[in-house]
Every structure is written in structure tokens, then in C-alpha cells.
Amino acid sequence: MTDTPGAVPRNGDDLPVEVESFLTHLAVERGRAPLTLSAYRRDLLRWVRHLDGRGTTTTAATEADVLSFASALTDEGLAPSSRTRILSTVRGLHRHLLVEGRVDTDPTAHVESPRRPAALPRALAVEDVLTLLDSVAVPGSDGPDGEPVRLRDSALLELLYGTGVRVSEACGADLTDLDVDAGVVRVLGKRRRERIVPVIPEVWSSLAAYLDEGRPALLRHAGSARAPTAAVFLGRRGGRLGRQAAWEVIRRRGRAAGLDPEVLSPHVLRHSCATHLLDGGADLRLVQELLGHASISTTQLYTRVATERLVVAYRAAHPRAAAELRR
């Protein structure tokens, strides 16, 4: 069932038909996002080129080929997280080929991935978040011409921190996803998983001000040159606000609030929301559901953050610990 070894010359970035079939499977049957598929394509192109250099193909690859590839990734100086991701993509391809009956064995079955240390999420102090939110909440602070953008920025920041949604989820939200009566927002997360997120009154208040005054003004500014959009958050030209533009909003607003823009990002606000909820006594499962984590182990990283903060506070406050530090 396995193809005869021997690589067939290919043109440029072309991938073998069995690899393209795997990518199609991920897109159609598994619902992978375009950006994710692009990353998989780059990883698999790297794998195919390595096999080309060894005079073999994906359907004839052996465990020795996989080990050689893993060694080459290490020699390139790639971080363990990058090597783990690439090898995971290769492993997914060969499992698919085995299930589809294209090969008799999986050459990745006994190859271990590099150990990837769990990165602790970065979180802002509560005071810093409040400084950021308060700095953009002052009416007229951007002048009359910038008031629609200020209202949008305030609503966006409040939503990101108030609910912990991903920036892609916020930018992808449509007006029909907002349910004011129920006090919830519907979002589509990774792999297009839908979840319902509760929204606190402070966030609704900011959203309402933006939807009543800011969003219509942005649409008027766009005029009739752009087709109407159902997006909640709009750019200055009336179209849907993009992820990169949202990143710039946060860094610009952080800079204006006197915070370091280099430590600010949409994900930092998401991490801050989760960490502050746990600090306040929220249940771990609740935070998992709110953030849309598929695995509880991802959410448990935040308990490590909370625990480390507790240890620091304890050592600074307890008389015996403080005395030990003074010695």
C-alpha cells in the first residue's frame, strides 16, 4: 500500500496531492481557520522539502526521516514551542494518511515531541487596567472629531477585559450576536466553537453609548462608498475593525494612559480578566467556560499566576517571612 520511495521533482511551493488532501480535510471537515491552515501549509512544506533532500516522499517516510527532521529543526535554533508545533502538524498528516489507507504505518508514532514549558500568562494589575479603562472613558477627551472613535475604543477595551473574549472574537462579532435582554454576547471561538458569554452592566453601558452614537457616526463618515456591514466594531472607514487595528487601539490607548505599550495586547487583557476573576474567588470551571478553553489544563495556568502572586504577597506581609528577608 506504501508508495515506492523516491521523491518526484516538484515546482516551487507545490505540495504533493496527499498533503493537499489533508489540508482540504482540515478546512472542510475540521473547520480550521484560514490563518491556521496557512501555518499548517508552511510546516508541511518544510517537511516535504526535508524529505525531498533525503530522496523520499511523505507516503514512504520512515521514523529515521522524522528523527532527522526533528534534529534539523533543533539545528536551526527553533524554540521548543515551534518545533513542537511543526512536529504536531507532521504527526497529524501521517495519522490522516494511515486512517485513509494511504500508508501501512505511521513513522511519527514513536517520536516524542520536545517538552514545551508552560508559559505563565501575563496579567496587568487591577489598578493598571482601571487606569486604562478610565483614561478612554472621558467624553470629549479626543475632541469632537474623535468622539466616535473614542466611544468605539472604550467599548472594545471594556468588552475585552470585562468578558475575556479573544480579539478575533470581538472583531468578528455582529450586531445580531448581542442580546441585551439576556445580558449575553454570542461569540465564535477557535474551530468555530460557539459560546455564550455573560456581559456585566458596565460593559453594556459602554457598548450602548458606542452603538447609539459612535457606530452611526463611523457609518456616516464612510458614506455610500462602502456596503453596510453587520459588524459591531467598525474602523474609521466604516468597515469591520481588523485584529491588527484592534491591537493598535490597545497600544495607543495604553500609551496615552501612561502604561508601557510593549506589555499591552488583547491577550494581556484576556489574561488579566481570568487572573482577576480567580483572585476574586471565581470557580476554575467557570473561568474555563467563560474563556472557551477546550481543556481545563489551559485554564489551570492562571491558578499558577494567582498562587505566585499569593506567595509574593505572603512573603512581603508575614512578620516571620519579612524578618527572614531582612537578614
CATH number for the domain that contains residue 71: 1.10.150
β partners of residue 198: 184
* 19 has a pLDDT exceeding 70: yes
Strands 184-188 and 178-179: antiparallel
Average pLDDT of the residues in 80-101: 91
What is the per-residue pLDDT across 102-144, written as a single tens digit (0 to 9) for each? 999 999 998 887 765 555 557 888 999 999 999 999 888 787 7
Average pLDDT of the residues in 10-31: 85
Residue ending a domain, choose from 230, 245, 261: 261
Q: Which domain holds residue 221?
A: 127-261
Residue 211 included in any domain: yes
Residue ending a domain, choose from 244, 261, 278: 261
Average pLDDT of the residues in 211-215: 94
Does residue 83 share a domain with residue 132? no
The answer to whether 117 and 172 are in contact (CB under 8 A) is: no
Residue 21 included in any domain: yes
**Range with the poorest average pLDDT among 261-265, 282-286, 292-296:** 292-296
**How many domains are there within the chain?**
2
Residue 225 included in any domain: yes
Residue 82 included in any domain: yes
Does residue 160 share a domain with residue 91? no
pLDDT at 87: 92
Residue 1 included in any domain: no
| pLDDT-derived band at 155, boundaries 50, 70, 90 | very high
| pLDDT-derived band at 311, boundaries 50, 70, 90 | low
Residue 267 included in any domain: no
| pLDDT-derived band at 312, boundaries 50, 70, 90 | low
Distance CA 167, CA 227 (A): 24
β partners of residue 196: 186
Residue 51 burial by Cβ neighbours in a 10 Å radius (0-12, 13-18, 19+): buried
The answer to whether 173 and 185 are in contact (CB under 8 A) is: yes
The answer to whether 275 and 305 are in contact (CB under 8 A) is: yes
* 3 has a pLDDT exceeding 50: no
Does residue 136 share a domain with residue 228? yes
Higher-confidence residue: 294 or 26? Answer: 26
**Range with the poorest average pLDDT among 23-27, 114-118, 239-243:** 114-118
* 214 has a pLDDT exceeding 90: yes
| pLDDT-derived band at 4, boundaries 50, 70, 90 | very low
pLDDT at 194: 84
Catalytic residues: 166, 190, 267, 270, 293, 302
pTM over 0.75: no
Average pLDDT over the chain reads 83
Reported as type and span, the H/E element at residue 198 is strand 194-198
Residue 310 included in any domain: no
Residue 64 included in any domain: yes
Does residue 67 share a domain with residue 148? no
